[in-house]
């Protein structure tokens, strides 16, 4: 225990009163007065920390001994509780307690603890010279008596450390203010028992965490607690609830717990008291409706996740200062990310909302209650140039591994660009970067971060083959099937993938066995039963944020099976299983599915060492699948939006109308192509086709505006086509001066015997007229400038006779334009095609054009075809 105490070394005995911390520091300073100031000041500081620990935790007589030797300081702090071991804390930067022993470790040259029959002594030495000898390790004292192992499944370790730090702050405040403790009915003996029990839980949890490899957001722990601890833990819960209540009233310096931290604390203490007498464990992920049980809250906060998010995202700390901003938010708000970091969040709010935000934020911290967390709130955001941007703001809390609570805000806006498709050949480096694994820093154990580069050659090959499977198709379910085939070839005997759909239902999308001769029934695919509260399966836990989970016990459960458990059990009995790893498919801080790998050989099960690399592999798989889902979703939304803007065609005697719209096969973005057809009050039919410049959401909005303006202008005065386009050009220049567009506006007039087209073109490709005999001609007489160029220039129109059974085709450039082909060649190719289809029904006529020209286009296609019938 360091240097022996010399005879006659100065010593002081003190009662466990808070004011004696100052007495101890002054005593040590007087003894060490002849030493260099750095050594003396450091020893005085560390003495104050150790005596404070003894006052708060040991609560017995304290003996402080100090002496000097060779310019070195030697200090011993003893108490009368040898059975009460030291509880070193994880070094969290923002922890409000637990720094004393960490300071001793950092500043003392050597330190340690010795427990005898009736005394425990913590010692340290401070030397002026360097280098220092190796520091001593703290001795640990095992809990006395019989212990019971408690199972704590799916513990979000960042949330645990935050909850522990918060309740230790409450206990410290009650200890320092006995009048407040007595005022809320907490007796001194209850407070002492709560302090001891809190330290016991902290020590036991720390010891259990030290045995785990931190390869996921959650830990499943086996924790040893004293068998008779249940009454003391119940006392701790009562004291903490009372302290929390008085903190909400502002009577303590410590802040009350936020809702998810309070809920987690209750779950943890209830699990211990419930299992000590023999109760069954309930996973944190299975707690119904518990705040913080969602996948969003289980993972520790990491700035890389904000940077990787496609949705505009900003993170702020408890001081309301911005600590992370992603590119999407920077682009939306007009601020460079580095200029926003460090500023108050109010810089992004209009002036009239700033005080309301500060009031609400302060109320959340002071009361622990919130009316807005997790709920999308429509509010205006302030652009850097002063513009107001309407958004929907959703704020979630997350714990960081350094002890902070972080407020993560997502800014949903209708002007946010959709996700781009994954670049071909991108391997595992897909559109969205993969945030790196977050590991828990501890004071006594270095966590090893495994990387692909450090893996064995077979793992490197597995990662490479998985990357090839992910980039071979854009269909998310097909990606998973191909990945499962790779995994069953190199890693598992059989593999299955499950995805959560938009309604929250779980769909098993693929099930692959290594042996192709093993029949896999289709009954195991499709919608799975919902998870119930009695489920014991690992799959629901993973879907709520746990994992990856290593499953080595496949024995049937004793309790009744839930429908989901029964379905899983049937599959296991059919295909066999000895061990498995169930891993979450996670992206954007949410779990959207699970990947299960199973081995059937008892002699070669999955091991703990496999889990970190499997976690990295599945993280990359989740990224690739999520990018495919985003592309598919954006593409579907774009197509639905575009089709919603397309009209229902009018019905007319002797006139047949057909239209087709085909979105681009290579992009998920909406575009500016449109067609329109409607009947004017006078009976004429309007035919319109057009294309707004650009191929994004802005182009689609401009297209919709232009189409609606054209409708209003056309109906208002029923003027000739050239005048309608002139007025449209003027309106467009006035309301949207940056936009340009092409357009053909035609009036179809019929007297029952003949049909005419009166039309004018604004820079669009000319309509194509094909007679029943196969003669073709482009109608280009009514040509004029694009919309948006110069509304003052005159426009012209033309008249064309439409013979019976001829076909008039309006089309956009996506139908014919191809890279490497001249426009004349493309237009001639279209003429030959329409001539060949001149006598086919109009629906067939349009479909054949789409089949022939739409296979390799990189642009949207819009067609509008009209065919006059025979004379009346």
Q: Is residue 55 part of a domain?
A: yes
Whichever domain contains 61, its CATH number is: 3.30.565.10
> What residues have CB less than 8 Å from 723, skipping those under 6 apart?
795
pLDDT at residue 833 is higher than 90: yes
**Backbone torsion region of residue 154, taken as left when φ is above 0, otherwise alpha when ψ lies between -120 and 50, otherwise beta:** left
DSSP letters for 174-207: HHH-HHHHHHTT--HHHHHHHHHHHHHHHHHHHH
Rounded (10°) angle between helices 230-248 and 157-176: 80
Q: Is residue 286 part of a domain?
A: yes
Sign of CA dihedral 27, 31, 36, 40: negative
Residue 137 binned pLDDT confidence (cut-offs 50, 70, 90): low
Cα(207)–Cα(621) distance, integer angstroms: 33
> What residues have CB less than 8 Å from 226, skipping those under 6 apart?
143, 144, 145, 146, 147, 148, 200
Q: Is residue 306 part of a domain?
A: no
pTM over 0.75: no
- Mean pLDDT score, 20-38: 93
DSSP letters for 313-328: EEEE-TTSBEEEE-HH
- φ, ψ of residue 761 to 5 degrees: the values are -120, 135
CA angle 20, 26, 31 (to 5 degrees): 125
Quick one: pLDDT at residue 449? 42
Cα(722)–Cα(703) distance, integer angstroms: 20
Residue 441 binned pLDDT confidence (cut-offs 50, 70, 90): very low
Residues 20 and 68 in one domain: yes
User: Considering just the CA atoms, what is the radius of gyration of the chain in Å?
Assistant: 36
75 compared with 311, residue with greater pLDDT: 75
pLDDT at residue 73 is higher than 80: yes
Q: For residue 249, give Cα distances in angstroms to 180, 242, 259, 368, 386.
A: 12, 11, 15, 10, 39
Rounded (10°) angle between helices 457-470 and 610-644: 10
| Spatial strand order in the sheet of 313-316 | 322-325, 313-316, 405-412, 388-399, 377-382
Cα(198)–Cα(175) distance, integer angstroms: 13
Lowest-confidence pick of 333-337, 411-415, 857-861: 411-415
Lowest-confidence pick of 334-343, 419-428, 683-692: 419-428
Percent of all residues in the chain with a pLDDT value above 70, rounded to a whole number: 85
Residues 282 and 328 in one domain: no
Q: For residue 146, give Cα distances in angstroms to 25, 82, 143, 232.
A: 39, 18, 8, 15
The rounded Cα 144 to chain-centroid distance in angstroms is 44
Cα(646)–Cα(659) distance, integer angstroms: 10
The CB density around residue 798, as the number of other CB atoms within 10 Å, is 17
The shares of helix, strand and coil residues in the chain, as percent rounded to the nearest 5, are: 35, 20, 40
Residues 742 and 658 in one domain: yes
> What residues have CB less than 8 Å from 359, skipping those under 6 apart?
none
Cα(88)–Cα(852) distance, integer angstroms: 74
| Token representation of residue 243 | 């302290």
The CB density around residue 718, as the number of other CB atoms within 10 Å, is 14
Three-class secondary structure of residue 308 per DSSP: helix
pLDDT at residue 798 is higher than 50: yes
pLDDT at residue 299 is higher than 70: yes
pLDDT at residue 695 is higher than 70: no
Domain count, the chain: 5
CB 816 within 8 A of CB 829: yes
143 compared with 105, residue with greater pLDDT: 105
| Token representation of residue 472 | 């071979």
pLDDT in tens, 390-422: 888 888 888 887 778 889 888 877 444 344 444
Quick one: pLDDT at residue 324? 92
Q: How far apart are the first and last CA of the chain?
A: 115
Residues 721 and 804 in one domain: yes
> What residues have CB less than 8 Å from 530, skipping those under 6 apart?
505, 506, 563, 564
| Token representation of residue 595 | 């990947």
Q: What is the largest CA-CA distance in the chain?
A: 129
pLDDT in tens, 739-796: 889 999 999 998 878 999 999 999 999 999 999 999 999 999 999 999 988 888 889 9
| Spatial strand order in the sheet of 861-868 | 655-662, 861-868, 807-811, 768-770, 776-778
Q: Is residue 5 part of a domain?
A: no
Quick one: pLDDT at residue 398? 85
Q: Is residue 423 part of a domain?
A: no
Residues 49 and 113 in one domain: yes
Domain endpoint, select from 567, 592, 625? 625
Cα(450)–Cα(453) distance, integer angstroms: 8
Cα(196)–Cα(193) distance, integer angstroms: 5
CB 320 within 8 A of CB 361: yes
Residues 93 and 153 in one domain: no
| Token representation of residue 398 | 């997350």
Domain limits at 743? 645-868
**Backbone torsion region of residue 176, taken as left when φ is above 0, otherwise alpha when ψ lies between -120 and 50, otherwise beta:** alpha
Q: For residue 646, give Cα distances in angstroms to 56, 403, 494, 864.
A: 74, 54, 47, 11
The DSSP bridge partners found for residue 866 are 657, 808
pLDDT at residue 95 is higher than 80: no
Q: Is residue 839 part of a domain?
A: yes
Q: Is residue 632 part of a domain?
A: no
Residue 292 binned pLDDT confidence (cut-offs 50, 70, 90): very low
Residues 176 and 122 in one domain: no
Three-class secondary structure of residue 744 per DSSP: strand
CB 28 within 8 A of CB 47: yes
Residue 105 binned pLDDT confidence (cut-offs 50, 70, 90): confident
Place of tokens 């959401």: 697
pLDDT in tens, 578-619: 888 999 988 876 788 889 999 988 778 888 888 888 888 888
Cα(838)–Cα(816) distance, integer angstroms: 18
Residues 193 and 216 in one domain: yes
Beta strand pairing status for 110-115 and 72-79? unpaired
Percent of all residues in the chain with a pLDDT value above 90, rounded to a whole number: 29
Quick one: pLDDT at residue 442? 43
Three-class secondary structure of residue 47 per DSSP: helix
Give me the half-sphere count of Cα atoms (radius 13 Å) on the Cβ side of residue 329: 27
The CB density around residue 134, as the number of other CB atoms within 10 Å, is 8
Residues 649 and 795 in one domain: yes
pLDDT in tens, 535-582: 567 888 888 888 788 888 776 655 556 777 778 888 887 888 888 899
Specify the DSSP element, H or E, that contains 265.
Answer: helix 259-275
Highest mean pLDDT among 380-384, 666-670, 693-697, 865-869: 865-869
Give me the half-sphere count of Cα atoms (radius 13 Å) on the Cβ side of residue 24: 31
Highest mean pLDDT among 17-26, 158-167, 438-447: 17-26
Cα(787)–Cα(766) distance, integer angstroms: 15
Whichever domain contains 512, its CATH number is: 3.30.450.40
Quick one: pLDDT at residue 668? 44
Domain endpoint, select from 97, 126, 155? 126
Residues 665 and 785 in one domain: yes
Quick one: pLDDT at residue 173? 87
DSSP code, position 597:
E
Cα(704)–Cα(789) distance, integer angstroms: 19
Give me the half-sphere count of Cα atoms (radius 13 Å) on the Cβ side of residue 716: 11
> What residues have CB less than 8 Å from 347, skipping those under 6 apart?
340, 382
Residues 579 and 471 in one domain: yes
Place of tokens 């070394």: 9
Beta strands in 607-684 (DSSP E): 655-662, 673-679
Residues 119 and 152 in one domain: no
DSSP letters for 570-598: HHHHHH--SEEEEEEEEETTEEEEEEEEE
CB 767 within 8 A of CB 779: yes
359 compared with 745, residue with greater pLDDT: 745
> What residues have CB less than 8 Å from 855, skipping those under 6 apart?
none
- Mean predicted lDDT score pLDDT of the chain: 83
pLDDT in tens, 498-534: 898 878 888 988 898 988 888 777 777 888 888 765 5
Cα(313)–Cα(394) distance, integer angstroms: 10
Whichever domain contains 400, its CATH number is: 3.30.450.20
The CB density around residue 124, as the number of other CB atoms within 10 Å, is 28
pLDDT at residue 202 is higher than 90: no
Quick one: pLDDT at residue 428? 45
Cα(492)–Cα(250) distance, integer angstroms: 56
The rounded Cα 484 to chain-centroid distance in angstroms is 24
Whichever domain contains 740, its CATH number is: 3.60.40.10
Q: Is residue 448 part of a domain?
A: no
| Token representation of residue 737 | 């001066």
**Backbone torsion region of residue 788, taken as left when φ is above 0, otherwise alpha when ψ lies between -120 and 50, otherwise beta:** left
Lowest-confidence pick of 132-146, 252-266, 324-338, 828-842: 132-146
Burial class (CB in 10 A: 0-12, 13-18, 19+), 140: middle
pLDDT in tens, 1-23: 578 888 989 999 999 998 999 99
């Amino acid at each position: 225990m360091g240097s022996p105490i010399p005879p006659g070394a100065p010593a002081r005995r003190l009662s466990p009163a808070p004011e004696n911390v100052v007495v101890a520091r002054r005593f040590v300073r007087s003894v060490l007065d002849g030493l260099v100031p750095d050594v003396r000041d450091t020893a005085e500081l560390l003495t104050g920390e150790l005596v404070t620990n003894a006052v708060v935790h040991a609560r017995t007589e304290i003996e402080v001994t100090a002496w000097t030797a060779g310019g070195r300081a030697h200090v011993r702090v003893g108490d009368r509780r040898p059975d009460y071991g030291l509880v070193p804390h994880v070094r969290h930067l923002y922890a409000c307690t637990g720094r004393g022993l960490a300071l001793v470790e950092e500043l003392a040259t050597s330190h340690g603890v010795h427990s005898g029959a009736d005394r425990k002594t913590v010692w340290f030495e401070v030397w002026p010279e360097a280098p220092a000898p190796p520091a001593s390790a703290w001795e640990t004292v095992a809990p006395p008596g019989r212990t019971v192992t408690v199972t704590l499944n799916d513990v979000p370790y960042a949330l645990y450390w935050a909850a522990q730090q918060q309740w230790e702050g409450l206990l410290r405040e009650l200890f320092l203010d006995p009048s407040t403790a007595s005022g809320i009915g907490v007796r001194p003996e209850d407070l002492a028992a709560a302090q001891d029990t809190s330290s016991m839980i902290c020590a036991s949890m720390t010891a259990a965490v030290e045995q785990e490899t931190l390869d996921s957001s959650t830990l499943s722990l086996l924790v040893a607690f004293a068998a008779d601890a249940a009454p003391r833990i119940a006392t701790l819960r009562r004291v903490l609830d009372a302290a929390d209540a008085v903190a909400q009233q502002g009577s303590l310096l410590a802040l009350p717990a936020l809702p998810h931290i309070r809920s987690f604390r209750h779950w943890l203490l209830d699990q211990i008291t419930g299992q000590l007498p023999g109760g069954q464990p309930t996973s944190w992920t299975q707690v119904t409706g518990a705040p913080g049980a969602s996948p969003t809250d289980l993972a520790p906060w990491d700035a890389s996740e904000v940077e990787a998010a496609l949705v505009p995202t900003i993170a702020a700390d408890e001081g309301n200062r911005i600590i992370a901003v992603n590119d999407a938010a920077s682009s939306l708000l007009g601020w460079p990310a580095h200029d926003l970091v460090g500023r108050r969040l109010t810089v992004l709010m209009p002036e009239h909302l700033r005080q309301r935000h500060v009031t609400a934020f302060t109320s959340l911290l002071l009361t622990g209650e919130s009316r807005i967390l997790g709920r999308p709130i429509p509010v205006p955001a302030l652009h850097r140039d002063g513009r107001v941007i309407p958004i929907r703001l959703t704020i979630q809390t997350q714990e960081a591994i350094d002890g902070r609570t972080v407020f993560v805000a997502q800014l949903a806006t209708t002007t946010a660009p959709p996700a781009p498709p994954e670049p071909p050949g991108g391997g595992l480096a897909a559109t969205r970067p993969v945030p790196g694994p977050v590991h828990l820093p501890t004071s006594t154990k270095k966590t090893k971060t495994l990387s692909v580069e450090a893996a064995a050659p077979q793992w490197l090959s597995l990662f490479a083959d998985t990357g090839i499977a992910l980039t071979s198709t854009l269909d998310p379910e097909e990606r998973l099937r191909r990945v499962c085939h790779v995994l069953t070839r190199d890693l598992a005997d059989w593999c299955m993938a499950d995805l959560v759909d938009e309604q929250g239902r779980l769909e098993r999308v693929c099930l692959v066995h290594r042996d192709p001769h093993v029949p896999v029934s289709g009954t195991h695919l499709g919608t799975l039963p919902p998870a119930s509260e009695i489920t014991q399966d690992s799959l629901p836990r993973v879907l709520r944020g746990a994992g990856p989970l290593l499953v080595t016990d496949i024995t049937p459960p004793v309790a009744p099976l839930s429908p989901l458990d029964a379905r899983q059990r049937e599959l296991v009995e059919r295909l066999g299983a000895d061990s498995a790893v169930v891993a979450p498919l996670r992206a954007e801080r949410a779990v959207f599915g699970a990947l299960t790998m199973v081995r059937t050989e008892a002699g070669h099960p999955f091991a703990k060492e496999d889990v970190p690399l499997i976690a990295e592999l599945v993280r990359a798989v989740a990224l690739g699948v999520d990018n495919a889902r985003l592309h598919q979703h954006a593409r579907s939304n774009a197509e639905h939006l575009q089709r919603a803007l397309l009209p229902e065609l009018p019905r007319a005697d002797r006139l047949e109308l057909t239209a087709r719209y085909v979105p681009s096969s290579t992009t998920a973005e909406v575009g500016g192509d449109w067609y329109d057809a409607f009947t004017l009050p006078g009976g004429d039919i309007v035919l319109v086709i057009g294309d707004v410049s650009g191929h994004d959401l802005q182009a689609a909005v401009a297209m919709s505006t232009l189409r609606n303006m054209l409708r209003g202008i056309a109906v208002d005065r029923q003027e000739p086509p050239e005048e309608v386009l002139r007025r449209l050009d003027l309106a467009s220049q006035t309301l949207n001066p940056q936009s340009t567009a092409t357009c053909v506006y035609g009036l179809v007039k019929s007297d029952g015997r003949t049909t005419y087209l009166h039309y004018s073109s604004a820079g669009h490709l000319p309509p194509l007229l094909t007679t029943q005999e196969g003669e073709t001609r482009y109608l280009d007489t009514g040509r004029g400038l694009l919309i948006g160029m110069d509304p003052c220039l005159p426009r012209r129109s033309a008249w064309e006779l439409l013979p019976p059974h001829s076909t008039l085709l309006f089309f956009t450039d996506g139908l014919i334009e191809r890279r490497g082909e001249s426009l004349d060649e493309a237009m001639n190719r279209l003429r030959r095609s329409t001539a060949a289809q001149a006598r086919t029904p109009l629906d067939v006529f349009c479909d054949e054009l789409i089949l022939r020209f739409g296979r390799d286009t990189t642009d949207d296609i819009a067609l509008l075809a009209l065919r006059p019938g025979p004379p009346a």
